[in-house]
Amino acid sequence: MPANAGSMATRRFIKMHGLGNDFLVLDARAEPVTLTAQMVRNLANRHTGIGFDQLILIAPSDTADVRLRFWNSDGGEVAACGNGSRAAATLLGGRHRIETAGGMLDSTAMAGGAEVDMGAPRWDWDAVPLAYPMDTMSLPLAWEELASPAALSVGNPHAVFFVPDAQAVDLERIGPVIEHDPVFPERVNVGIAQVATRDHVILRVWERGAGATLACGTGAVAAVAAAQRRGLVDARVRVSLPGGELVVTRRDDGHLLLAGPAVIAFSGDVDLEHYQ
């Protein structure tokens, strides 16, 4: 990235998106960046700020090539972001070992995007986490017509509902209800999945802290992992989201690879002090 310009608070930023899931990227490898929840919310405002679903901070790492930190538009920091990891991997180029709060990732840049090894999903109830022990392959719970979701962690918590028609669900209404249910003590990302064929899933996601988004990388990984565990799909699955398509592939060791496009929309300079 170009060198910082202007005041000490003025930083170069890059705006990226993966299938319309958009990110503000700040590089803090050479000079630290201090962010607060309020600052993130102000920057995320699409009328008075820059606007984004997630903010990505690229930082130095003692154990990997780089460390990635992620914030949702509501100002909350989260451990993992699949599309955000792909966007950063696209920006970095080549192959990298990436440290995140959700675990170590290996990335490979490709033409117009990247593939990221998202690791193996975690199914233990306290890893999701849930408020109390339950069968995570099919929770004995229902929210109106949505029932028996799979619950898992792919670096962040997901509840995946399988339905005959993903478009028929009023996600904007029911999504926040499920996200904030006390059974999910750290809230939850809500996936509405329709299995079209054994290699194709149609998916809509209500993201914790961001709302309904055009694409969600960890949501795609979680939906495919849940469908594979239930025997509904094969090892390689095309996931159709409102913004476009991602591909999730399960390796023999159980790791899930997430591949798809990511592009730079524009770049510029931002005075962070203005958004405190």
Encode 233-249: b = buried (16+ Cβ within 10 Å), e = exposed. Answer: beeebbbbbbbeebbbb
Catalytic residue among 43, 81, 114, 237: 81
Q: Looking at the structure, do residues 179 and 249 belong to the same domain, yes or no?
A: yes
Q: Is the pLDDT of residue 8 over 90?
A: no
Task: Identify whether 112 is a catalytic site residue.
Answer: no
In a domain, 132, yes or no: no
pLDDT tens-digit map of 53-81: 999 999 999 999 999 999 999 999 999 99
Query: Residue for token digits 């209800």?
Result: 177
Q: Looking at the structure, do residues 246 and 148 belong to the same domain, yes or no?
A: yes
Q: Which domain holds residue 16?
A: 10-118+262-275
In a domain, 5, yes or no: no
Q: Looking at the structure, do residues 112 and 156 belong to the same domain, yes or no?
A: no
Nearest CA to 64 out of 110, 100, 92 is that of 100
Strand partners, 31: none
In a domain, 79, yes or no: yes
Q: How large a percentage of the chain has pLDDT more than 70? A: 97
Task: Identify whether 125 is a catalytic site residue.
Answer: no
Nearest CA to 53 out of 89, 78, 27, 90 is that of 78
The stretch 17-46 carries a mean pLDDT of 96
The stretch 26-48 carries a mean pLDDT of 97
CB 215 within 8 A of CB 243: yes
The count of structural domains within the chain is: 2
Res 262: pLDDT: 96
Catalytic residue among 216, 223, 225, 227: 216
pLDDT tens-digit map of 211-251: 999 999 999 999 999 999 999 999 999 999 999 999 999 99
Confidence of residue 5 (pLDDT cuts 50, 70, 90): very low
Q: Which residues contact 111 (CB under 8 A, 6 or more apart)?
A: none
Res 1: pLDDT: 39
In a domain, 230, yes or no: yes
Nearest CA to 242 out of 220, 264, 262, 209 is that of 220
CB 88 within 8 A of CB 25: yes
CATH code: domain of residue 152: 3.10.310.10
Nearest CA to 86 out of 118, 54, 106, 116 is that of 116
CB 85 within 8 A of CB 217: yes
Nearest CA to 114 out of 140, 152, 78, 88 is that of 88
Encode 149-161: b = buried (16+ Cβ within 10 Å), e = exposed. Answer: bbbbbbbbbbbbb
pLDDT tens-digit map of 84-133: 999 999 999 999 999 999 999 999 999 999 999 999 999 999 999 999 99
In a domain, 220, yes or no: yes
pLDDT tens-digit map of 130-178: 999 999 999 999 999 999 999 999 999 999 999 999 999 999 999 999 9
Which helix H or strand E contains 54, and what residues bound it? strand 54-59
Confidence of residue 9 (pLDDT cuts 50, 70, 90): confident
In a domain, 65, yes or no: yes
By CB atoms closer than 10 A (0-12, 13-18, 19+), residue 82 is buried
SS3 (DSSP) at 223: helix
